[in-house]
Every structure is written in structure tokens, then in C-alpha cells.
Amino acid sequence: MRVVIIGTGNVATILGKRFLAAEHEIVQVCGRNALHAEDLADTLSAVSTTDLKHIDQSADLYVLAVSDNAVAAVAAELQLNNKLIVHTAGAVSKDVLSAASKNYGILYPLQSLRSELNELPEIPFLVDGNTGDDLALITEFANTISHQVEQAGDEQRLKLHVAAVMVSNFTNHLYTLAKAYCLHEKVDFNMLLPLITAVAERLHDYEPAAIQTGPAVRNDEATIQKHLALLQDHPSLKVMYTMFTESIKKMYGARSAG
């Protein structure tokens, strides 16, 4: 397909590369910042513009990959003569695109995308369309760039979005806090990497509830108290440790008492 990308951030960059790798043609990149738009256009063998009024009207698909809180405002400025437009946001209704065209939908990458990453990760997509034809076209396009494509309405997409925040943003924050703690306490965080990888990989084969380990699920109060004593100088970590320990005890109380 011939694609116009609106946006120059992490999602626009990673998806643009993925489109190109699947032999789609990027005809134009549109971004507010001229330098960023030129840079990404160069990367994608496209031309650039900073003006929404100068958007190429000849493309097959318009991909609006701007920050979540800008999607509605940018869509309202676009006039696409009923060309097919999608946005890439997890928590924004597809209907904000109705201002731009009567043919619209969703191409939402269920991944944490950072343009500085060297390797492109596997990206599952949630797709949606305003009409059956739009949904079919968007699904067909998504299948050219991913092996995991599922249809999901606004509410399902938002539900997976909040779950994604929990399993990626929150876990990454736990890694960040643990790394800062290790640095402060002069122990080697890198020794934890095989453990971190093992826990994540195990989800492919096991129910996480069935393989929970640690002092909380064992009701090992002696170890919990030793840990809390160690966290005396790390009040934020101590609060988090306590909350997780209570939550785990609550979930497995019957198992521990048995």
C-alpha cells in the first residue's frame, strides 16, 4: 500500500520501518517539527511536510501516530476525502477520526516501542474499522506486518491497554527501583538478569499463579521481616514491598494455611 505517516515519534518511526520492511511505500511523513519530519522521511525514503494542509491526497492509507492526547485535535484538522485513516493509540476511541474521513479504524501496536531500539520486537496488533470493508482492509494490511493480528473494539482495546501498562510499565518500574537499590547498596544488578528473563519466558508455558515463589506465598514471616529491615532507608521501596506482600498473601492465603 501507499502510506502517509502523520507523526515522527517512537511509534511513527518503528511502524514506518516495519511498513517499509513489508514493501509498502511511504509516500510522505508529516510532522510539526521540520527537522524531525525530514529525518524520518529520509529514513523511510519519503518526502516530508510540516503542514497538515499539504498532505498527499493520493495515498491508500493514512496512519496517525501522534501522542494520545493530540489524536483528536490533529484528526479534526485533516480533510482526506474519505480516504482510509487509522490511529495507533490504545486509549483513544476510533470515532475521533470521523472528523477526517468516513473510512477509519485502528492499528494499535501492543508493544512498548522506543525508536532507539536496534532490534524490532514482535508486535501484535489490535485492529478495528468503522465499516466491515474498512476492518477487512486494515486487517489485511496488519497481516503484512505482523503474525499476531486481532480485532478489538474500543473497550477491548482499552482493557488490553491497561493490562499492558501493568505488565510492561509497572514491571519496568520495578526493575528501575531494584536497579537503583542495587546501585545504592553496591551489589550487582546484572546478576538478576537471568532470573528476570526466566520469569518472563515461563509465561509461555505456565500459569503465573501456579509458579509463584518467594517469602510472601510461603508465608515466611522471618524472611519478610529481614527484608523490611533492609529497606529501612528506602521508604518508597518499603511501601511497595509491603503492598505486594499483602496482595500475594491475600491471593494465596488458603494455600499457605493449608
* 124 sits near a second copy (criterion: CB under 8 A): yes
Question: Can you tell me which of 204, 232, 257, 258 binds a second copy, judged by CB under 8 A?
Answer: 204
Q: Minimum Å distance from CB 35 to a second copy?
A: 19
Q: Minimum Å distance from CB 94 to a second copy?
A: 14
Interface segment toward a second copy; rule CB under 8 A; list 29-37, 79-87, 95-103, 201-209 = 201-209
Confirm if 74 and 6 have CB atoms less than 8 A apart.
yes
* Separation of CA 222 from chain center: 39
Confirm if 44 and 20 have CB atoms less than 8 A apart.
yes
Residues 148-167 contacting a second copy, CB under 8 A: 148, 150, 152, 156, 158-167
* 202 sits near a second copy (criterion: CB under 8 A): yes
Interface segment toward a second copy; rule CB under 8 A; list 29-37, 47-55, 78-86, 213-221 = 213-221
Residues 14-73 contacting a second copy, CB under 8 A: 67-69
Long-range own/partner contacts, residues 130-135 (CB < 8 A, 24 or more apart): 130/94, 130/97, 130/98, 130/102, 130/103, 130/104, 130/105, 131/103, 133/103, 134/84, 134/103, 134/104, 134/105, 135/105
Question: Can you tell me which of 4, 86, 127, 248 binds a second copy, judged by CB under 8 A?
Answer: 248
Q: Minimum Å distance from CB 228 to a second copy?
A: 9
Q: Minimum Å distance from CB 150 to a second copy?
A: 6
d(CA 5, CA 85): 10
Question: Can you tell me which of 33, 58, 82, 223 binds a second copy, judged by CB under 8 A?
Answer: 223
DSSP letter (8 states) at residue 62: E
Is the Cβ of residue 62 or residue 241 nearer to a second copy in the bound state?
241
Q: Minimum Å distance from CB 240 to a second copy?
A: 7
d(CA 92, CA 70): 10
Confirm if 3 and 60 have CB atoms less than 8 A apart.
yes
- Classified as helix, coil or strand, 96 is helix
Residues 75-104 contacting a second copy, CB under 8 A: 90-91
* 185 sits near a second copy (criterion: CB under 8 A): yes
d(CA 103, CA 111): 25
d(CA 23, CA 1): 8
d(CA 11, CA 131): 25
Q: Minimum Å distance from CB 125 to a second copy?
A: 9
Question: Can you tell me which of 209, 233, 253, 255 binds a second copy, judged by CB under 8 A?
Answer: 209
